[in-house]
Structure 1
Amino acid sequence: MNFFRTKDIEQMKQMALASGMVKNLGVIDLILLGIGGVIGTGIFVLTGVAAAKYAGPAVMLSFIISGFACGMAGLAYAEFSSIVPISGSAYTYSYASLGEIVAFIVGWNLVLEYTVTSSAVAAGWSGYVTGLFQSAGVQLPFAFTHVPADGGLINIPAILITLLLSFFLVRGTKESTKLNRILVGVKLLAIFIFLFLAGPKVDTMNWHPFMPFGFSGVAGGAAIVFFAYIGFDAVATTAEECKNPARDLPRGMIGSLIICTLLYVAVAGVLTGVVPYTSLNNPEPVAYALRYIGYNIGSALVGVGAICGITTVLLVLLYGQARIFFAMSRDGMIPAQICKIHSKYRTPYIVTTVGCIVVSVIAGFAPIGVIAEMANIGTLSAFFVAAVGVMVLRLRKPDLPRKFRCPAVWAVGPLAVFSCGYLMYNLPIETWIRFIVWCTIGLFIYFGYSCKHSLLNK
């Protein structure tokens, strides 16, 4: 049995045409989807945590390093998306270039990434909403807003927001993108309010020392804030619902990544310029900074924007999770019965529902904690493999039509491999241990089920 067999690209295109999903996403939708998936928890929470615990004011450099790694991998993704305009992201790209067993492990890690990250974001959404109610004088029952490990019974707000967004996703991408556009507009407005109010108050003395934890702190911060860029991968999962995927996917991915990186650096610079970095280790650093300089109303507006921002991140993550499941089930890697398309809404409703249930259970009952760091290593490994895959495909199939070609691929590819590998190296050892265990479980599933039921095996 050939575990490194690859799927024929023309056959994959025919499968995509036969999927029955509605093609209604344009380049603007993709850019907004990317912003919706990237700008959220990272900018409203992780910026402060990374500054206080890892990089200090040099957290700006941490975001640039992470953005650079994402950008190098993004160029590889962009070329792949013009060759293989099919749902599945790095899973599909690996299947076309590096072989089935590599693709399965990549897909297995992407499933972990989307599921764990969605659960963590849903729990974060619950925390923000609970805090908003408290500031309005309404105390929600502790038992129903915290998981058992934290002394509660069940986190109901986290479950409810997951169910609501999954309802929109089942109804169709058109409805989901409309909701995403509205929420992205609100959170961008919140970010610009923060920059407008806090920008003039920047005190450059707060940037000294600029690198209090040394460059190792900057690198560690970059590995942690990479969590903020995870939603970028979800844009690549939209291929079968794009009007012109070969043209629009590269533009959507690169465009959203550039905009998000600029916003992250700007917010990180202003945030550490108005507040000493040592005081930013709190769940709402942006709103805290505005209160610190006396803008209480602005703080409330940013809090609302943060809730909208986290909502769009969860929406995009749930969307991406369903498309990865869909691609893997269609290939026989997991039971094919769950990849059915709804007769009316033309969406993969079964995998969307299954993913929603899993995320709801984790967010409602389980403590997320450091497990969320596994999402970072899962995504970085997918980017790493995609960068290798694009170089392999250049050697194996140099004559393939490529509507977008990764510029200077023999420089960009190794840079993507090195930068993603470097960020993985800087993650805690506990994360590596969990990652190896998760991959081992995946291999057991592959050899026990997937390789036998794979469509290529038949």
Structure 2
Amino acid sequence: MEEKQIVVHAPIEEHKNSTKDLKRVLGRGDLMSIAVGQIIGAGIFALAGVAIGITGKSVNIAFMIAALFVIIIAFTQILISGTVRLRGGLYTQAALLVGNRFAGFYTIIYIVANLSIAMYALSFADYFLALVPGLNSKLIAITVLTIFYLANLFGVKEAAKVQHFLVITMALALTVFVVFGMPQIKPGYFSGSDFMPGGLIGLFSAATLLTYATSGAVSVMNFGAEAKNPTKDIPFVLIVSTVLVALFYALMATVAAGVMPITEVANQPLTVVALEILPYPLYVFFIVGGAMFALATTLNATLGWVTKPVLQASVDGWLPQKLGAINEKYKTPHILLTIFFVLGLVPIITGWNIGGIANFALILGNILNLFLAMATVRLPKVVPDLWEKSKYRTSKATLWTISILATLTSAFQVYLIVPSLNTTLIIGNIILLILATLFAVWRYNSGKVQMEISYEES
């Protein structure tokens, strides 16, 4: 770690390609709908059945443990997002807490990890074709990706309005699943061999898997430059959205595991249970308003936040500064947004294995979280004045406890993920790690990196 974090090598003039120029228009409700939409995605529809196969009817408990894992890690994010406005989101956190060169390393890993944007559009197309077969799946995926690209191109507030509608409809669809399913749950749910068949190991393994379905709220940190009151609203949204969604997931999981025999729902998507408990018109509503809108909200939210860390990275010189140009009318990073749109189109058109691309950066993403969790203890040192004024200021012992717990939780998840990676993915991650490190050192030493102070008091 570097002793001195944010170093300005040369005076930075005011220019349009800066996170300072983004509109601060997102209120707590906007951030909440973005977070909920980001959390509820394809994970619940695919992973609930897998988790049932691991831990049986105790899958509802596994969802709550998964939320606990997510919240423990989120505590470190709450401390910093509640103390300063992070205009570059998680990128700024990386630069501030770990160091300048780490910010360059973070940028490369971040871009690779988000090549999986197309996965949401392709999954949306799969559900659409289940209802309307015979259409071109690539055309559907391209269409939905284009719609949300345009929505975000015309301003984050406009995209947030779309998100509100999608999230409300999605909530209604998922509520229908719970309301119709609860009365059909068979007696003796919490007894018998189908409850926690794998013991505690199986329960915690399922919970680790389900962190993929319960995480996602942390992405709202990347809206630090556009939030009206980030130090108040972002910590609130991080916790409340995660807890609310996890509770709802637990209810859905109870229905999924309690209506039909475990042998018929294990490793199956939620649509199997939905077809059993819902009248067909409501089943269609569940597929459209639930599954398809869940993917749509995740895609919309992702296109909203994905550019912000890279925008700050381009301002700082890790990438060409022209890439970070801000549209004068809509105050959106239109060039970067277009780049991510194209990156999403390429796998759709070429038929790349998006699942492989997503898994490629999975382990490194968790390692990044581990670094950030460890570095949280440096918060009082890097922003002493703001830390003293923060309502989240804790004692040194509490700060270290939170940091250690979050670090151990991240390390535990890395430990559980590694055995699931094949040799190719492991080697690929090692190569990516080396290349990202070499890039960070080379670019920083080139003199082109001029780190702007991208945090401030809210």
TM-score w.r.t. the length of structure 2 is 0.86
Distance, in Å, in 1 between the alignment partners of 2:445 and 2:210 is 36
Summarize deviations over 1:232-276 as a string: whole Å, max 9, x none: 222000011111112222122222122122122221222111133
Letter in 2 for 1:317: T
| Cα contact 2:324–2:336 (8 A) shared by 1 | yes
* 1:429 maps onto 2:421 in alignment: yes
State the 1:184 CA deviation. Answer: 0.2
| Cα contact 1:50–1:221 (8 A) shared by 2 | yes
| Cα contact 2:88–2:225 (8 A) shared by 1 | no
* 1:455 maps onto 2:439 in alignment: no
Q: What SS does the aligned partner of 1:83 have?
A: coil
Q: In the comparison of the two structures, how many residue pairs are matched?
A: 435
* 1:391 maps onto 2:377 in alignment: yes
Distance, in Å, in 1 between the alignment partners of 2:19 and 2:402 is 34
For structure 2, the residue ranges without an aligned partner over 5 or more in a row are 453-458
Summarize deviations over 1:305-327 as a string: whole Å, max 9, x none: 21111100011112222112212
Summarize deviations over 1:375-421 as a string: whole Å, max 9, x none: 54344333322222221223555443353416633322211111111
Distance, in Å, in 2 between the alignment partners of 1:337 and 1:354 is 12
| Cα contact 1:170–1:349 (8 A) shared by 2 | yes
1:367 aligned partner: 353
* 1:400 maps onto 2:398 in alignment: no
1:298 aligned partner: 282
Matches within 5 A, 1:311-330: 311-330=296-315
1:178 is aligned, of 161, 175, 178, to 161
Distance, in Å, in 1 between the alignment partners of 2:230 and 2:277 is 46
Query: Which 10-residue stretch deviates more, 179-188 or 160-169?
Result: 160-169
| Cα contact 1:206–1:275 (8 A) shared by 2 | no
1:413 is aligned, of 369, 393, 403, to 403
State the 1:132 CA deviation. Answer: 1.7
| Cα contact 1:318–1:352 (8 A) shared by 2 | yes
Letter in 2 for 1:47: A
Check 1:263–1:114 CA distance in 2 against 1; reply closer, same or farther (3 A cut).
Answer: farther
Summarize deviations over 1:63-93 as a string: whole Å, max 9, x none: 3333222212222112211333123333211
Check 1:346–1:397 CA distance in 2 against 1; reply closer, same or farther (3 A cut).
Answer: closer
* 1:357 maps onto 2:335 in alignment: no
Summarize deviations over 1:279-320 as a string: whole Å, max 9, x none: 33667x333212223633332111012111110001111222
| Cα contact 2:89–2:222 (8 A) shared by 1 | yes
1:310 is aligned, of 282, 290, 295, to 295
Distance, in Å, in 2 between the alignment partners of 1:280 and 1:373 is 25
| Cα contact 2:5–2:382 (8 A) shared by 1 | no
2:146 aligned partner: 163
Q: What SS does the aligned partner of 2:86 have?
A: coil
2:455 aligned partner: none
Letter in 2 for 1:292: E
Distance, in Å, in 1 between the alignment partners of 2:43 and 2:445 is 37
1:151 aligned partner: none
Query: Which 10-residue stretch deviates more, 258-267 or 22-31?
Result: 258-267
| Cα contact 1:231–1:317 (8 A) shared by 2 | no
Letter in 2 for 1:68: L
Query: Which 10-residue stretch deviates more, 122-131 or 292-301?
Result: 292-301
| Cα contact 2:361–2:429 (8 A) shared by 1 | no
Whose helix proportion is higher, 1 or 2?
1
| Cα contact 1:36–1:184 (8 A) shared by 2 | yes
> Over aligned residues, Cα RMSD in angstroms?
2.8
* 1:234 maps onto 2:219 in alignment: yes
State the 1:188 CA deviation. Answer: 0.5
| Cα contact 2:75–2:406 (8 A) shared by 1 | no
For structure 1, the residue ranges without an aligned partner over 5 or more in a row are 146-154
Letter in 1 for 2:96: A
Distance, in Å, in 2 between the alignment partners of 1:373 and 1:275 is 32
Letter in 1 for 2:27: G
2:367 aligned partner: 381
Q: What SS does the aligned partner of 1:209 have?
A: coil
1:31 aligned partner: 32
Query: Identity rate of aligned residues, in percent?
Result: 24
State the 1:159 CA deviation. Answer: 2.0
Matches within 5 A, 1:174-323: 174-205=157-188, 208-280=193-265, 285-293=269-277, 295-305=279-289, 306-323=291-308
1:446 aligned partner: 440
Check 1:405–1:356 CA distance in 2 against 1; reply closer, same or farther (3 A cut).
Answer: same
Q: What SS does the aligned partner of 1:246 have?
A: helix
| Cα contact 2:38–2:301 (8 A) shared by 1 | yes
1:43 aligned partner: 44
Distance, in Å, in 2 between the alignment partners of 1:420 and 1:337 is 36
Check 1:119–1:294 CA distance in 2 against 1; reply closer, same or farther (3 A cut).
Answer: closer
Distance, in Å, in 1 between the alignment partners of 2:52 and 2:360 is 21
| Cα contact 2:86–2:224 (8 A) shared by 1 | yes
TM-score w.r.t. the length of structure 1 is 0.86
